[in-house]
């Protein structure tokens, strides 16, 4: 983990300087503010891990600042109040509003350091929620040489802040390895923020990634949520061009502007990514920025598909049976050797995710202590049949491409329906005309030819 940053807010310069010296001697990074305006700016830009906040200041009192920073009864980081004119009522009010503790002046250095230590320890349990999928495994399963070798590589890489790109087929466990790396890294106490890049619509990506400031309120984006930990960009090849450009700037400078903001926000995080695509080919085709590719691709690790380490199938079956029995209270069923051998030789086009879904289905719908070979074949056949039901061609494309294909078809249909009149099209589909023109241009729809 990186050094904790402490914001000291006190209108007496001598106290600010003294506390800065003491805390820096203890190995902390210290930022000082001598009034409320400076404190607000440092709060937004530095994102401190702890605040020492004086109650009485000339422009705004500390309790008012605390009240601004607390959201739903919780401050984003511990705040320790300080005062030389304190009363029991003041201390009670501060802690009721969300302060971690209250110190009286003149400060006892021993008590100060002990309170700071306790507050930072508590921060480990008050991080922004890590968006952990309840189904996510942190330990990659399998004793095969391929998995053992990959686990070893990931554990060694975890000791450095190298950016790692995990490459492999969907469902093969790329996110699991990213979590495993984070678990063994020096940032393990920080948050792990997974982001399905393709699920974020381009028009919302700036706010999602970089946050926004609006009417005095701050929405922390994904980069800020990952501060001190790791940001995992799943299927980074699906990222739109504008977000790619913004991300390059943020990664190079380790700072960015929130939407609607005027102050640079500093972030310290590790970026991990995954892709099923050949990003070098995407770069050549102009769909992915070359500079972003080289920023993210410090080290590439290939995650093999399940068919290439099918000796791990029995262990994976046992793992998912135990997990569903424990978590969902499903009846235990055993996979006999004949069934295991059959599944070891299955192609697993959906990889580990497909195996997990198969186990879940057999436990829910099956009966008897043992899983029968015929019901496995039937279940696999039904899955294949279900997936092969006639569907539009773009259903088989990545989400970003599928969305573009649908939008293009949808807009061309309605543009033809309204004789190429963009004004009527705008009214019919409920899209503001300026945005509609941009969308038509972006999708390459030559609307002028339709008039």
CB burial of residue 207 (10 Å; 0-12, 13-18, 19+): middle
- The mean pLDDT of the chain is 85
Per the structure block, which two tokens stand in for 215?
């009417």
Average pLDDT over residues 25-48: 88
pLDDT at position 269 is 93
pLDDT of residue 451: 40
Please report the pLDDT score of residue 294 as a whole number: 94
The mean-pLDDT minimum among 72-76, 209-213, 214-218, 442-446 falls in 72-76
Distances (CA, A) of 55 to 18, 20, 265: 18, 18, 26
Contact 66, 81 (CB under 8 A): yes
Q: Domain 312-387 maps to which CATH number in 1.10.8.60, 2.60.40.420, 3.20.20.60, 3.30.565.10?
A: 1.10.8.60
What sign does the dihedral 360-364-368-371 (CA atoms) show?
Answer: negative
pLDDT for 393 equals 58
The answer, yes or no, to whether residue 180 has pLDDT greater than 80, is yes
- What CA–CA distance (Å, rounded) separates 176 from 142? 12
For residue 198, what is the DSSP state? G
Residue 73, pLDDT score: 57
More confident: 374 or 202 = 374
Mean pLDDT, residues 207-228: 86
Confidence (pLDDT) at 446: 76
**Proportion of the chain in helix, strand, coil states, percent, rounded to 5:** 50, 15, 35
User: What pLDDT does residue 135 have?
Assistant: 43
Which CATH superfamily is 145-302 part of?
Answer: P-loop containing nucleotide triphosphate hydrolases (3.40.50.300)
Tell me how far CA of residue 313 lies from CA of 316, 339, 370, in angstroms: 5, 11, 17
Between CA 350 and CA 334 the distance in angstroms is 22
Q: How confident is the model at residue 384 (pLDDT cuts 50, 70, 90)?
A: very low
Secondary structure (3-state) at 207: helix
pLDDT in tens, 281-311: 999 999 999 999 999 999 999 999 999 999 9
Proportion of the chain above pLDDT 90, given as a percent: 48
* pLDDT tier at 143, thresholds 50, 70, 90: very high
pLDDT at res. 105 = 85
The per-residue pLDDT for range 404-450, each reduced to its tens digit, is: 778 888 888 788 777 788 878 887 787 877 778 778 877 878 765 44
Find the helix packing angle between 13-25 and 109-123, rounded to 10°: 70
pLDDT of 392 strictly over 80: no
Cα separation, 133 vs 175, whole angstroms: 11
d(Cα 449, Cα 222) in Å, to the nearest integer? Answer: 42
Separation between Cα atoms, residue 82 and residue 183, nearest integer Å: 36
Token pair belonging to 44: 């937004």
* Ranges 140-149, 238-247, 407-416: which has the least confidence: 407-416
Quickly name the fold that domain 395-450 has. Answer: Arc Repressor Mutant, subunit A (1.10.10)
Average pLDDT over residues 334-350: 93
- Please report the pLDDT score of residue 95 as a whole number: 75
- Which of 164, 247, 168, 257 lies closest to 202 in space, CA to CA? 247
Over range 32-45, report the average pLDDT. 87
- Residue 245 is given by DSSP the state H
**In the CATH scheme, what is the homologous superfamily, with its name and number, of domain 5-123?**
Response regulator (3.40.50.2300)
Q: Is the pTM of this model over 0.75?
A: no
- In degrees and rounded to multiples of 5, residue 85 shows phi and psi of -125, 35
pLDDT of residue 48 exceeding 60: yes
- Fold match between 5-123 and 312-387? no
> What is the percentage of the chain residues whose pLDDT exceeds 70?
89
Q: What is the pLDDT of residues 91-110, one digit of tens each?
A: 677 777 788 888 888 888 88
State phi, psi for 153 to the nearest 5 degrees.
-60, -40
Provide mean pLDDT across the span 68-91.
74
If you search the block for the tokens 């009522």, which residue do you land on? 89
Q: What is the pLDDT of residue 394?
A: 60
The domain spans of the chain are 5-123, 145-302, 312-387, 395-450
What pLDDT is stored for residue 120 in this prediction? 84
């Amino acid at each position: 983990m990186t050094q904790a940053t402490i914001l000291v807010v006190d209108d007496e310069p001598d106290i600010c300087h003294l506390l800065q010296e003491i805390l820096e001697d203890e190995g902390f990074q210290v930022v000082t503010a001598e009034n409320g305006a400076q404190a607000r700016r440092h709060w937004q830009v530095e994102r401190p891990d702890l605040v020492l906040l004086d109650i009485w200041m000339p422009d705004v009192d500390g309790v008012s600042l605390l009240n601004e920073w607390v959201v739903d009864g919780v401050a984003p980081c511990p705040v320790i109040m300080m005062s030389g004119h304190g009363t029991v009522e003041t201390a009670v009010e501060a802690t009721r509003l969300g302060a971690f503790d209250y110190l009286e002046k003149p400060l006892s250095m021993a008590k100060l350091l002990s309170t700071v230590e306790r507050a930072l320890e508590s921060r480990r349990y008050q991080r922004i929620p890590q968006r952990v999928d309840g189904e996510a495994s942190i330990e990659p399963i399998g004793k095969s040489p391929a998995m053992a070798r990959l686990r070893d590589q990931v554990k060694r890489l975890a000791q450095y802040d190298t950016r790692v790109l995990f490459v492999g087929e969907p469902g093969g466990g790329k996110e699991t390895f990213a979590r495993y790396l984070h678990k063994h890294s020096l940032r393990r106490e920080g948050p792990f923020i997974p982001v399905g890049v393709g699920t974020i619509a381009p028009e919302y990506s700036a706010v999602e990634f970089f946050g926004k400031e609006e009417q005095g309120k701050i929405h922390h984006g994904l980069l800020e949520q990952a501060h001190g930990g790791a940001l995992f960009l799943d299927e980074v090849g699906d990222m739109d061009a504008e977000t790619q450009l913004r991300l390059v700037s943020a990664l190079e400078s380790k700072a960015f502007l929130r939407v609607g903001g005027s102050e640079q926000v500093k972030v310290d995080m590790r970026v991990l990514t995954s892709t099923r695509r050949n990003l070098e080919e995407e770069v050549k085709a102009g769909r992915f920025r070359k500079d972003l590719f080289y920023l993210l691709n410090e080290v590439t690790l290939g995650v093999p598909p399940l068919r290439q380490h099918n000796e791990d199938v029995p262990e994976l079956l046992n793992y998912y049976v135990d997990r569903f029995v424990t978590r969902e209270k499903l009846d235990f069923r055993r996979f006999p050797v004949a069934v295991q051998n059959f599944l070891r030789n299955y192609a697993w086009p959906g990889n580990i995710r497909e195996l997990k879904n198969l186990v879940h289905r057999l436990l829910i719908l099956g009966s008897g202590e043992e899983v029968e070979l015929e019901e496995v074949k039937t279940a696999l056949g039904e899955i294949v049949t279900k997936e092969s039901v006639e569907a539009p061609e773009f259903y088989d494309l990545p989400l970003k491409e599928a969305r573009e294909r649908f939008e293009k078809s949808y807009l061309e249909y309605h543009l033809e329906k309204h004789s190429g009149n963009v004004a009527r099209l705008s009214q019919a589909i409920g899209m503001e005309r300026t945005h509609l023109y941009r969308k038509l241009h972006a999708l390459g729809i030559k609307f002028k030819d339709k008039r």
